[in-house]
Homo-oligomer: A and B are copies of this chain.
Amino acid sequence: MKFCSECGAPVEWRIPAGDSLPRHVCAACGAVHYQNPKMVVGCIAEWEDKILLCRRSIEPRHGLWTVPAGFMENGETTHEGALRETLEEANARVEIGPLYALHNLPYANQVYLIFRARLLDLDFSPGAETLEVRLFDEAEIPWDQIAFRTVRRTLTRYYEDRHGGEYRFHIATIEAADGRRR
């Protein structure tokens, strides 16, 4: 951020009075511009003993596989966001179930919320950001071609839980490889 989104004047990077962290502060109108983490919402869409994965047609991680997920939008709930992303990326209709995993990615200023969901029919197809959509059983999961560590971790827990006979809610933090936080 270089300019104030309220008045167009240049912003400074400093700690506002009464605050404890540096913020973008407008030198002209005094507006303080906060920046906060974003939520990524998505789902593990289940059909019998298979799950739905999408192969990405966009960067980052073009060509790799993920569960349907994306940035939550203003004006929607977490489960509405997961439903929308599944429709956009896989043209797939799901019934959203329980929250399954929350992953903190503090270095990326993101929190991933992945629900379990029930795929309602087999009429799915690639959306604009997807090359290919298909159902995988456990033996077919392309573990070395999963797009994101959060997704790999979520699916690993998912199959552990399935073998253990009970799906439990998971919460965990994924740190940057170099330990940085911002």
Q: Total interface residues on A, using CB and 8 Å?
A: 47
User: How far is the CB of A166 from the nearest CB of chain B, in Å?
Assistant: 14
* A164 interface residue per 8 A CB criterion: no
- CB pair A35 B3 closer than 8 Å: no
* A18 interface residue per 8 A CB criterion: yes
Q: Kindly report how many copies of this chain are found in the complex they form together.
A: 2
| A72 to B6 CA separation, bound complex (whole angstroms) | 23
**Which residues of B have CB within 8 Å of A98?**
171
Interface residues of A in 1-43 (CB under 8 A from B): 1-11, 18, 20-21, 24, 33-39
Partner of A77 from B5, B33, B104 at Cβ < 8 Å: B104
| A74 to B182 CA separation, bound complex (whole angstroms) | 7
- CB pair A5 B2 closer than 8 Å: yes
Query: Which single residue of chain B is at the shortest CB-CB distance from A6?
Result: B2
Partner of A169 from B38, B88, B111, B169 at Cβ < 8 Å: B169
